[in-house]
Amino acid sequence: MRLAFLGTPEAAVVVLNALLDVGHDVAVVVTRPDRRRGRGPAVTPSPVARAAHERGLAVVHRVADIQGHDVDRGVVVAYGAMIPASVLARTPMLNVHFSLLPRWRGAAPVERAILAGDAVTGVSIMTLEATLDTGPVHLERRVALDTRTVSELTDELAHVGAQALLDVLASTDLLGSPAPQVGPATYAEKVTSETLHLTPSMSSELLARTVRLERAYLLVGGRRLAVRRAHVVAVPEGAASIVTRLGDDVVAVGQRAALALDEVRPEGSRSMSGVAWWAGARWSEPPRWA
């Protein structure tokens, strides 16, 4: 099938490669514009743009540019923007969405499933509509969350979603007979800095789930400390809302739970163990956790 492909992050590359590897003709790739990804002025292409260039595909940054290519259908995987109704009227599109719709419509379905403590999530292959993730579903596949991080879970969903998409494209019945979404809808709002902020009032479950998003942080002595890996421990007796050395661990002691800091990254520094960070900081007394 001759396709247009719309996607941006690494997870979308998995699906793009799967389409190409089984012989689909990707006539054009639409991805978000190059952007700065560090402190310097240089801009870098998206993962999808890099992969497309490596495979000799045409790359554009405007959805409207699809009209210059004769395609049967579009495929959308985490593109990062809504597709106008005018484009969908001319080019029907399938969306590979990383949730079991209608649960977790929106921008951050994997993160929200983790934060909510869902036991199961999955992938929905749906017909794209101009409204947010409301289209009928051709096929869904389920995946257990377990205790995986957001990157681990996203990687599995990308591979499961790639195969599900190939199954839909290969089946006249699946492609032609999508089913309306059934059940209450929930919305996966974007993850903000506040979402990622570990605070002393959080429960042990929420602390652990937020760390699994891999961008969590806490404020120690007024400075941000990124928490890359951590595990929940028993709350010690004594003062709450501090960070202290406790046996072999450096522990953030909250009001309801305590978190042993296995790997952290201070502002302007590299990742290191919590113990190494503690030794280098040389606190004269346990700092406040806010």
The ranges assigned to domains in the chain are 2-188, 193-281
* pLDDT the model gives residue 44: 87
CATH topology of domain 2-188: Rossmann fold (3.40.50)
> Could you tell me which CATH number the domain at 193-281 has?
3.10.25.10
Three-state SS sequence of the chain:
CEEEEEECCHHHHHHHHHHHHCCCEEEEEECCCCEECCCCCCEECCHHHHHHHHCCCCEECCHHHHHHCCCCEEEEECCCCCCCHHHHHHCCEEEEECCCCCCCEECCHHHHHHHHCCCEEEEEEEECCCCCCCCCEEEEEEEECCCCCHHHHHHHHHHHHHHHHHHHHHCHHHHHCCECCCCCCCEECCCCHHHHECCCCCCHHHHHHHHCCCCCEEEECCEEEEEEEEEEECCCCCCCCEEEEECCEEEEECCCCEEEEEEEEECCCCCEEHHHHHHHHCCCCCCEEC
* pLDDT the model gives residue 164: 98
Reading the chain (290 residues) residue by residue, the pLDDT tens digits are 999 999 999 999 999 999 999 999 999 999 998 776 656 667 789 999 999 999 999 999 999 999 889 999 999 999 999 999 999 999 999 999 999 999 999 999 999 999 999 999 999 999 999 999 999 999 999 999 999 999 999 999 999 999 999 999 999 999 999 999 999 999 999 999 999 999 999 999 999 999 999 999 999 988 999 999 999 998 888 878 999 999 999 999 999 999 999 999 999 899 999 999 999 999 989 999 99
Domains 2-188 and 193-281 are alike in CATH topology: no
